[in-house]
Chains A and B, each alone.
Chain A
Amino acid sequence: MSAELALIGPILAAMLAAATPLLFAALGELVVEKSGVLNLGVEGMMLVGAVCGFAVAVQTGSSTLGFVAGAAAGAGMAALFGVLTLLLLANQVATGLALTLFGVGLSALIGQGFVGIPIADVPELYIPGLTDLPVIGKALFGQDALVYLALAAVPAVHWFLYATRKGLILRAVGENHAAAHALGYKVIRIRFLAVLFGGAMSGMAGAFLSLDYTPMWAEGISSGRGWIALALVVFATWKPGRVLLGAWLFGGVTIAQLHVQGLGIDIPSQLLSMLPYLATVVVLVVISRDVARIRLNAPASLGKVFHPDA
């Protein structure tokens, strides 16, 4: 049994890494949704972020610049979404989905010259003593810097939303844009900034994939992680801390099922592959039973079109 116990550390470490792109993207989308906007284009923004980040890293040799470029590219895609939905009042659901379709094509187009090029990945952290701790050392103190950045974003987003005046305004805009407008807040500007932030975070999620997790560019490299991130926001009932739990749960079950297979436990792999999705549904059901709490957290104006003169 001790062989299985010794796997706990590596499973934790792999889980943290697997959760990272989900965290980036879901936290970004959470802020967007808190401002009352639903952007379903996460997958598309992730892909464009991934390819632009990779391209810049290849050209400049710097993964830091690549990461910044990924964020910028994600924000650029989000700006497109913002112009369409906030200024031209296009339907948010359809625009978001179209953004994904567009992003899949655009990233493939940009990426044509960058297939099959290897780059060095972001080095992992090593803290003498701590990283060498048994079982949890590698998991807690031996990850890539970006993993910690994503973790740090959780309290940062929470603090911004619930402890700052700007966060309060953003939430007010998401709750009731008419009232916020009447109070003199610039609803469209605030939402646009939130959308840009969400895009940048999605771009970072993509860049994490192409620069660090699997340092390469491949068409469709995000493989549906953008959708999972979207689901995690609902799962988390718009609470940053719960996004973390959801991302860990999803990442953890994903990694664990691979280990179950490797150990030769006789369950069909296709059924094991369902587990992360089923686990997410089950936990959602458990936390959703408290109706009042969900109502409190869901932004009331989510997805609704705002026009100052309407």
Chain B
Amino acid sequence: MTLLRLEPRGEASRAMVYATPLLAVALTLASGFLLFWAMGFDPVKALHAFFIAPLLSLRGLGELAVKATPLVLCAIGLAIGFRANVWNIGAEGQLTLGAITGGGLALAFYGEGGWWLLPLMIVAGMAGGALWAAIPAFLRVRFNASEILTSLMLNYVALHLLNYLMHGPYRDPDGFAFPESRLFEADAVLPLLVAGTRVHLGSLFALLAVAAGWFLMARTFIGFQIKVIGLTPTAAGYAGFNQKKIIWLTLLLSGALAGLAGLGEVAGPIGQMNPTISPGYGYTAIIVAFLGRLHPVGILLAGFLMALSFIGGEAAQIALGLPKAITGVFQGMLLFFLLATDVLIRYRVRFGAKGIVGRAAA
């Protein structure tokens, strides 16, 4: 600790904002090289399979977008809440509810659909997610109950609710009592954007969310309030900002976006209701939000990077027989490097004993 120390920069280094991700990637590649080599795999081939191969085909790029879509949608909403110190970690449950409400409509109007069904499902999906997020919002505002805990607990409740529905009202009447619904009809499925891929309308929504999120935070008074409350709650109080309103707003917003993500999964690539809609998108989105430094554009990039690491892991398993477990370790390393190198943006690394200057500044 004494040999290496960090000295704060006067202001965040612009150069480092762009240099640190590259540094992190370089470190990941280097340590990935060692990891794969130590495990007895050809490191060059493994890294190629992980990071390059998925990007070489239109289908691969499409899959990247499909995988990044729910991550980005959830993370945009979460990040806005995090900026206001509203710790919603219930995106997984809100996503599930969006699928339940929106997908439920597809089943309710099975055989009677029309052009109106899909827009209705989208609204219902967002409403379902928002409704699920309204519970922690209400409990926080009314009873002061921590939204961290309530939103987390509701994730489990939502999963069991989905399970219950899949074994009862939602299951396909001709499906041999298996917990899957009918396949959605064409009227209830999100249109594809790029032929030959699975990229669907939801990806466009994710891009819209990025733009809208940026606009909200950078250009509106509400965004300003959110930032002030997050940075200095007391000052926000003096300024007369309504903290309760912001709690409601951020939770409903992030819930609605997560609900949209859930609907996008069932009305998009899955095309039906089943008990395993999300492999933990709601949790991964929290990492994506922070990796993107809570900034909409950063989140977009982080979403793609996370998606690539998942898809690359599968590709490496297929091409080289790399065990799934190594994928997790490798993903963890990638994230650690990204998070660790962030420090260089606001601090300089200095070698040698602690200077007197540093002390005085404190």
Contacts and interface: CB of A to CB of B under 8 A. Distances in A.
A and B touch in the complex (CB under 8 A): yes
Interface of A: 80, 84, 87-91, 93-95, 97-99, 101-106, 108-109, 112, 181-182, 188, 224, 227, 230-231, 234-235, 268, 270-271, 273-274, 277-278, 280-281, 284-285, 288-289, 291, 294, 307-310
B144 A101 contact: no
Contact of B329 (A105, A270, A310): A105
Given A88-B340, A94-B291, A97-B286, A102 B148 contact: no
B146 A277 contact: no
* Main SS at interface, chain A: helix
Contacts of B229: none
Interface in B154-175: 154, 156-157, 160-161, 163-164, 167-168
23 contacts: A84-B339, A88-B339, A89-B346, A89-B347, A91-B339, A94-B287, A94-B339, A97-B287, A102-B332, A106-B328, A109-B328, A182-B362, A227-B152, A278-B153, A280-B153, A281-B139, A281-B145, A285-B145, A288-B143, A294-B144, A309-B6, A309-B7, A309-B361
A108 B291 CA distance: 25
Contact of A106 (B146, B329, B339): B329
Contacts of B146: 234, 284, 288
B325 interface: yes
A288 B145 contact: yes
A112 B335 CA distance: 24
B160 to A, nearest CB: 5
Nearest to B291: A94
A224 B155 CA distance: 12
Contact of A93 (B8, B286, B323, B327): B286
A112 to B, nearest CB: 7
Contacts of B82: 93
A270 B332 contact: no
Nearest to B334: A98
B283 A97 contact: yes
A4 B362 CA distance: 65
Given A91-B339, A307-B347, A188 B287 contact: no
Given A89-B6, A268-B168, A288-B144, 8 more contacts: A90-B340, A93-B290, A102-B328, A102-B336, A109-B325, A109-B328, A281-B149, A288-B139
B342 interface: yes
Interface string B311-355: 000000000000111111111110110011011001100000000
Contacts of A278: 153, 157
Contact of B164 (A270, A288, A308): A270
Contacts of B328: 101-102, 104-106, 108-109
A288 B140 CA distance: 9
Contact of A101 (B290, B332, B347): B332
A87 B5 CA distance: 9
A270 B144 contact: no
B150 interface: yes
For the side of the interface on B, what is the size category?
A: 35 or more
B156 A277 contact: yes
B358 interface: yes
Contacts of A310: 8, 362
A181 B323 contact: no
Nearest to B85: A303
Given A109-B329, A277-B154, A285-B139, A101 B335 contact: yes
Contacts of A291: 144
Nearest to A271: B164
B254 to A, nearest CB: 15
A93 B286 CA distance: 8
A251 to B, nearest CB: 15
B1 interface: yes
A224 B156 CA distance: 10
A181 B362 contact: yes
A97 B290 CA distance: 10
Contacts of A308: 358, 362
Contacts of A112: 323, 325
A273 B160 contact: yes
B160 A231 contact: no
Contacts of A95: 335-336, 339
A188 B6 CA distance: 13
A271 B160 contact: yes
A219 B256 CA distance: 34
Contacts of A109: 323, 325-326, 328-329
Contacts of A268: 164, 168
A261 to B, nearest CB: 14
B362 A87 contact: no
A219 to B, nearest CB: 8
A274 B154 CA distance: 9
B216 to A, nearest CB: 22
A188 B1 contact: yes
A101 B287 contact: yes
A271 B361 CA distance: 58
Given A101-B328, A109-B325, A285-B139, A274 B339 contact: no
A103 B332 CA distance: 8
B50 to A, nearest CB: 14
Nearest to A43: B283
